[in-house]
Amino acid sequence: MIVNSKRLLLDGATGTELNRRGVDTGLPLWSANALTTDAGLSVLRQVHLDYLNAGADVITTNTFRTNRRALAAKNFSALELTLRAVATAKEAVAEFGRSTIVAGSLSTLEDCYRPELVPPADACLDEHSERIEHLVEGGVDVLLIETMNCIREAEVAARIAVATGLPTWVSFVCDVNGRILSGESLTYAAEILMPLGVSALGVNCMPAHTLAQPLRELRAVCGEEFPVMAYGNIGHVDEEQGWVNTDTTDPNGYLQNARTWPAQIIGACCGSTPEHIRKLKQGWKNSGA
Ligand SMILES: [Zn+2]
């Protein structure tokens, strides 16, 4: 059921959208701050609902930072915040009233833009096992391993995720030359990950105009039928806030970029809004499958 339709529309940003609506997203918790107050949870639920109303076929749980490592300094329980995030996504789907895929987001254990910080293999195994257990306990439909900056950590997480029996999607962040931030190639990543049984591969959190080249590389190695996924960002990284929203790519400009991507699964990353997804629904999803 997961990728049967030819085109699948993801949602847009959660973290930066929470921030745009007045929720504190200061580091180290970033988007996970929303899970610690009733007001934050209520805004999160509305963000999910707005993406559903915009036409998203998939919504992503607000669990990018609900790992033990990110929460340690603040004494929050990773399990509790993860379950709260998944429950909030499911509440929004229930209110929307149509069956929708809930993708459980997990990312790098350390900063997603700094491959030199990736922990040793045993820590990756231990901590990703725990994260994936939490997401499965919450009842997600898909495991979305996103914004990965090197193959090593992605491979560890993907092995654990595939073993749960849930569809596993893996996405990397690349530099302007289309290399994974670690310097490794997407071709090599696909050669390692496809035999593990992942269900989709892609790239995310890079400026929309830089996605076409790495997507063509992925398409070439994955073949025509294999689901390739793409969601670009709008704005730039900030040391204290995590992200600064800008209007550098308006929803129309984003759609024009997305139309050039050889991908079956498309959404939008940091800085995007429900309006970006609405445009993709009208101009990409409805004009394809
Ligand atoms: Zn992003």
Q: What is the pLDDT of residue 273?
A: 96
pLDDT, tens only, 174-215: 998 999 999 999 999 999 999 999 999 999 999 999 999 999
Q: What is the pLDDT of residue 199?
A: 98
CA distance 178 to 173: 9
Query: Is 270 marked as binding a ligand?
Result: yes
Distance 13 CA to ligand 1 centre (A): 7
pLDDT, tens only, 216-250: 999 999 999 999 999 999 877 666 656 666 666 78
Q: How many domains does the chain have?
A: 1
Distance 58 CA to ligand 1 centre (A): 16
Quick check: is 246 in a domain? yes
Residue ranges of the chain with pLDDT lower than 70? 1-5, 237-248, 289
Domain hosting residue 98, numbered range? 8-287
Instruction: Report pTM.
Output: 0.95
Q: What is the pLDDT of residue 239?
A: 65
Q: What is the pLDDT of residue 79?
A: 97
CATH code of the domain in which 62 resides: 3.20.20.330
Distance 86 CA to ligand 1 centre (A): 19
Query: Is 150 marked as binding a ligand?
Result: no
Q: What is the pLDDT of residue 4?
A: 47
Distance 271 CA to ligand 1 centre (A): 7
Quick check: is 47 in a domain? yes
Distance 112 CA to ligand 1 centre (A): 9
Quick check: is 165 in a domain? yes
Classified as helix, coil or strand, 254 is helix
Quick check: is 3 in a domain? no
Quick check: is 227 in a domain? yes
Q: What is the pLDDT of residue 235?
A: 74
First to last CA, the chain: 15
Nearest to 239 by CA among 74, 105, 64, 114: 114
Quick check: is 28 in a domain? yes
Q: What is the pLDDT of residue 240?
A: 63
Quick check: is 261 in a domain? yes
Distance 144 CA to ligand 1 centre (A): 13
DSSP state string for 62-76? S-TT-SHHHHGGGT-
Distance 31 CA to ligand 1 centre (A): 11
Query: Is 205 marked as binding a ligand?
Result: yes
Quick check: is 222 in a domain? yes
Beta bridge partners of 148: 172
Nearest to 131 by CA among 116, 143, 149: 143
